[in-house]
């Protein structure tokens, strides 16, 4: 089971500006400190080995869309944020005109998590089957509403694919083409649901748009059990800890530090920070990652936790 990230931002898509690119170039030149390079290959090697990730890469700007890649013909996707557009391009290219079957698991129906669906290419292809799974009673209504006049030129009923909405019950496991899926209620406005996916002895938890009150021991222990021994936990780390417990308390999101604490309690193997604040640039996000890694080192017991930050295009194997 491979995890492929197509969108990792929260709230709204963002893009690098010309000022951002100039800033990266200027900082890279300063760090090069007068060095010269005889070839592109030499310059590339220097950038790859000596420059920070935030200078040579970008975390990207699409809103949540995460693919689980399994053996077989069916596709498995968490959320339909703006990252669903490039995912759709990928699916169409891979299918080479063959109809696809796509299973979507929705955390909730806020706009940043459904806004990519009207631009999801397979939805326009006759013969394609799309099953949209979720725990919300308003699931189908939300998808139809965003394509209703005057908001979008193509109405939901004009889509070529066969689309089915599948209602799930929290904490009840389901089998979907060999994948075991268990949803779990989370604290967020209008309710959000995390998912635990299990296949062939590996487990991945997708837990975005969830606020955690660690002073509530029962709540913390409940999530630690949901995360228990997971190979990968994709975790809502939208804020720094200071923001999450002060000015942005009760906004429905969590922090990098709380992610470390819960995954340590659960003895999870790999924490992936996700749902990045759109106002944070690449350098800030890299700083939050370094902070989480340092906190993990300082608080580590007999179990080491790997900590990463998701970016558009990242692929991970549990």
Does 26 fall in a domain? no
Residue 98 belongs to domain spanning = 2-12+58-316
**Residue 52 vs residue 163, higher pLDDT:** 163
Check whether 274 has a pLDDT greater than 90: yes
pTM: 0.94
- Helix-strand-coil split of the chain, %, nearest 5: 35, 25, 40
Segment of 18-27, 81-90, 209-218 carrying the highest mean pLDDT: 81-90
Does 187 fall in a domain? yes
Residue 246: the pLDDT is 66
Q: What is the pLDDT of residues 130-140, one digit of tens each?
A: 999 999 999 99
Does 177 fall in a domain? yes
Check whether 44 has a pLDDT greater than 90: yes
DSSP 54: H
Total count of domains within the chain: 1
Residue 244: the pLDDT is 61
Q: What is the pLDDT of residues 194-244, one digit of tens each?
A: 999 999 999 999 999 998 877 777 788 888 999 999 999 999 999 877 676
- Position 245 confidence tier, pLDDT thresholds 50, 70, 90: low
How far apart CA 84 and CA 100 sit, in angstroms, is 15
Written as six digits, the tokens of 155 are: 């109405």
Pairing of strands 129-134, 101-105: parallel
Does 41 fall in a domain? no
Q: What is the mean pLDDT of residues 287-296?
A: 96
Q: What is the mean pLDDT of residues 131-157?
A: 97
Check whether 56 has a pLDDT greater than 70: yes
Does 184 fall in a domain? yes
Question: Is residue 115 a contact partner of residue 174, using CB atoms and an 8 Å limit?
Answer: no
Does 147 fall in a domain? yes
Written as six digits, the tokens of 146 are: 């965003």
Residue 251: the pLDDT is 65
Q: What is the pLDDT of residues 250-272, one digit of tens each?
A: 667 889 999 999 999 999 999 99
Does 29 fall in a domain? no
Written as six digits, the tokens of 148 are: 């209703």
Q: What is the mean pLDDT of residues 125-153?
A: 97
CATH number for the domain harbouring residue 248: 3.60.15.10
How far apart CA 80 and CA 105 sit, in angstroms, is 9
Does 62 fall in a domain? yes
Question: Is residue 60 a contact partner of residue 7, using CB atoms and an 8 Å limit?
Answer: yes
Question: Average pLDDT, whole number, for the chain?
Answer: 94
Residue 147: the pLDDT is 97
Count CA within 13 A, CB hemisphere, residue 126.
1
Residue 247: the pLDDT is 63
> In sequence order, which residues have a C-beta less than 8 Å from that of residue 28 and are 6 or more positions away?
47, 51, 55, 56
Check whether 41 has a pLDDT greater than 80: yes
**Residue 15 vs residue 249, higher pLDDT:** 15
Q: What is the mean pLDDT of residues 151-161?
A: 97
Lowest mean pLDDT among 23-27, 104-108, 111-115, 130-134: 23-27
Pairing of strands 232-236, 270-274: parallel
């Amino acid at each position: 089971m491979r995890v492929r990230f197509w969108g990792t931002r929260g709230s709204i898509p963002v893009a690098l500006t010309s000022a951002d690119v100039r800033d990266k170039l200027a900082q890279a030149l300063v760090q090069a400190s007068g060095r010269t390079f005889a070839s592109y290959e030499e310059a590339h090697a220097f950038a790859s080995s000596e420059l920070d990730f935030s200078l040579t890469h970008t975390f990207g700007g699409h809103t949540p869309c995460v693919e689980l890649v399994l053996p077989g013909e069916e596709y498995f996707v968490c959320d339909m944020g703006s990252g669903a557009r490039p995912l759709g391009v990928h699916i169409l290219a891979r299918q080479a005109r063959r109809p696809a079957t796509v299973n979507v698991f929705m955390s909730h129906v806020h706009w940043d998590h459904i806004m990519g669906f009207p631009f999801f290419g397979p939805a326009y292809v006759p013969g394609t089957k799309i099953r949209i799974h979720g725990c919300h009673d308003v699931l189908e209504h939300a998808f139809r509403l965003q394509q209703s006049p005057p908001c979008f030129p193509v109405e939901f009923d004009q889509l070529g694919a066969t689309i089915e909405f599948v209602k799930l019950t929290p904490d009840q496991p389901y089998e979907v083409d060999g994948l075991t899926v268990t949803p779990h209620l989370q604290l967020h406005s209008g309710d959000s649901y995390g998912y635990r996916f299990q296949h062939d002895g590996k487990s991945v938890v997708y837990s975005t748009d969830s606020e955690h009150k660690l002073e509530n021991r029962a709540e913390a222990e409940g999530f630690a059990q949901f995360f228990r021994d997971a190979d990968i936990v994709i975790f809502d780390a939208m804020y720094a800890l200071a923001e999450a417990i002060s000015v942005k308390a009760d906004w429905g999101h969590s922090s990098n530090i709380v992610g470390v604490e819960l995954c340590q309690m659960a003895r999870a193997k790999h924490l992936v920070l996700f749902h990045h604040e759109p106002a944070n640039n690449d350098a800030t996000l890299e700083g939050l990652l370094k902070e989480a890694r340092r906190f993990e080192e300082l608080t580590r017991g007999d179990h080491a936790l790997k900590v990463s930050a998701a970016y558009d295009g990242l692929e991970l194997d549990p």
